Structure 1
Amino acid sequence: MKQMTLIFVFALSLMYPAHLGLAKEDNTASQKEKRKSLYLKTAAVSNIPWYYLAAIDQYERNIRSAQKELPDPNGLSGILIPDIKWFGLTNPNHKKTDAKLINLMDGFGQDGNGDGKADPDNPEDVLYSMAVYLNNYGPNRDNIKIALWKYYQSGKAVDIITQIAKVYQTFNTIQLSNHDFPIPLKYNFDYDSTWGARRGYGGLRIHEGTDIFADYGTPVKATSYGTIELIGWNRFGGWRVGIRDTQNNYHYFAHLKGYADGIKKGSVVKPGQVIGYVGSSGYGPEGTQGKFPPHLHYGMYRYNGKTDYSFDPYPYLRQWQQQAKQEK
């Protein structure tokens, strides 16, 4: 039985690799340790906190893994800086990596390891260049947010990067890939694949999630490390919580009865932490309850640098349930 479970989990990892991890790069624990060492080294010479550098790097890795037209994020740095920006707008030579010439041409590139070169393929140079850019605005949180807005021209990018940074700062690590099933296994629950089914309330639409039926008041747990991006009432989802993880995934918990103590917008959570309780809220004005049986609506979305798109959470729920059984 245990062998069958392992085969099932492995099969799911092959079928659904891209959304929750970076399947095409070396994302092992040892590689992540090397990445953090580089963040710490760069932070020490730039005064930019390491977790902001790590968050920018992770955000860019996420975007590159989500957009097929971008190269895969290999190596110690996932930050991709366009040549015209790196070498300078008026620089006709995008192969000469002389740091003094690039600086003269007002390029973004900097020499991060003292070899006299500003090489866009060198992770030390790339990360140091980003740190120098941020430091031009100042090393505190508000200054960094302004710098990020100037660089990405996107409020969404700024929000996600600062959320990732907050998670890294809280846990003092970038090795945060664990997940948990949202319902404790000792409680009664039932679910099936319902993503894409028709829904009629508020107009014809598709169901962007999986419904997990359980008794009123059953605890609901966070499935990942992340930051609470959204909380409160929605006429469709009732009392709901939205958590953004470090892979740009947005985990949506809806139809809750209420929230756990201390859960609020901006809270950092970890897998297995109780965030609320199963209910039947929604499909009406604030406080509406009981229009359907109690259940947790669990949805997953991914931000690809342009938009959040929904994908089927059912395979991941099955995988996390099997993992939770093994850990009992």
Structure 2
Amino acid sequence: MANLIRNLCIALLLLSCSNENTEFVSYTNPEITLNIPIDFPELNNSVRTNPPTKYGVELGEKLFFEKKLSANNTISCSSCHIQANAFADHHAKSIGIEGRIGLRNAPPIQNLAFMQVYNWDGNKRQLENQPLVPIITHEEMDSSILEVINKLEKDESYIDLFNKAFNGEGITAGGIYNSMAQYEYTLISANSKYDKVKRNEGESFTQEEAQGYQIFQDKCISCHSTELFTDQSFRNIGFPLNPDNEEAGRARVTGLVEDYMSFRVPTLRNIEFTAPYGSFGQFATLKEVLDYFDYGVLDSDNLDPFLKENDNKITLTETEKAHLISFMKTLSDTEFVDK
């Protein structure tokens, strides 16, 4: 009994000494208030569970431009998502490490906080689940999350930033995914000429732009609705088919025949900067896109009803095409791409 009491006393003494020497670090990481544009849709649920914070956004931006995410340290997310192109690029299909060519065109990254699905086929419903895809994909970064973590752990600046962003948790896979999503949630584009006209800030449409806006409302708004200029639906609009036999559009996710070659309707915001157009860059210019609709699209059983009902085309005169392009260019947010 005496020995038991003595050992207990020693243990308590050691514990007391240990506690006295322990330093408790408190991290202050305030949330960032997002500036929600007028008439935009509701924020998606993930923004509420993973709200942008001061250090989370700083970390996410640093990771977005970090080439260590790739196996050979040569490309980052920003290699394919270039800010001057509204975070898209000018390649028909994305190009990864060692010049490997991907399946699809890199989509722009803007207003993701208001989106309900991501990627051309909507295979991700949470932005936090997206960063792993390019990291592990052979044609993109061809790495692994463990390899990425091992690289980052050798950099003291990353250790410090992860701790500040996630309350001392250190470098984790979840921290990588959540911080990158937080950064991308802040990429809000809503300061184009169109927005300024709508807000009555002294801007006005030219006659050509106003006529283009009317044409847009008559012939385009059924797909490109809401202030995001996409209804976020999946549609087969009869574009030329990707020759890659792995492509099936939304059907790659659902396995349903009726989803074959259906893709998420792209936003028209900043469309001026995001050429080429289509899921694998089928069209070099907006004029080519409009010409294709005018001449007639590929028929299919699941072709979008709007096209089916209009003889597989959207008829446009050359003047209407010019006016429509003029209007679409009013959706260019130069402040957003020049930051």
Q: TM-score range by the shorter chain?
A: under 0.3
TM-score of the aligned structures, taking structure 2 as reference length? 0.27
Q: Which has the higher contact order (CA 8 A, sep 6+)?
A: 2
Larger radius of gyration: 2
From the two aligned structures, give the one with the greater helix fraction: 2
Q: Given the two structures, how large is their TM-score scaled by the length of structure 1?
A: 0.28
